[in-house]
Amino acid sequence: MLSKEDVLNRLKGVIYPGFEKDIVSFGFVKNVEIGDKILIEVEIVSSNPDVANELRTDIKRVMGSNECVINIIQPKIPEEKSNSQSGKNIAPQIKNFVMVSSG
């Protein structure tokens, strides 16, 4: 049976995509619980699903045959609020806008 320290040592072998440091050094590993299965909770700064998938694959690789539940927490992808993207007219009663800028 692995201890929490054993799990953290193995997770030091998971390099964050695009960087040279591991997820433990970055402080992304938020929780490790040892039970019937090993629960690993990782919070990352990227909202890119490819980064999460790569990390999940790497964590499974370093954990080997140990059964683990991997929970990766990501920031939500920001919603596009620009009118040019949505095409919605935010003020339908106004025909013309005059944009004023000062520099």
What's the domain range around 58?
Answer: 4-75
Q: What pLDDT sits at residue 38?
A: 94
Q: What pLDDT sits at residue 39?
A: 96
Tell me if 98 is assigned to some domain: no
DSSP letters, 6-42, are HHHHHHTT-BPTTSSSBTTTTT-EEEEEESSSEEEEE
Q: Which residues contact 90 (CB under 8 A, 6 or more apart)?
A: 83
How many domains are there within the chain?
1
Tell me if 44 is assigned to some domain: yes
Tell me if 33 is assigned to some domain: yes
Tell me if 94 is assigned to some domain: no
13, 44 contact by CB (below 8 A): no
Between CA 93 and CA 85 the distance in angstroms is: 20
Count the Cβ atoms, other than its own, within 10 Å of residue 85.
9
pLDDT tens digits along 33-82: 999 899 999 999 999 999 999 999 999 999 998 889 999 999 987 665 65
Tell me if 37 is assigned to some domain: yes
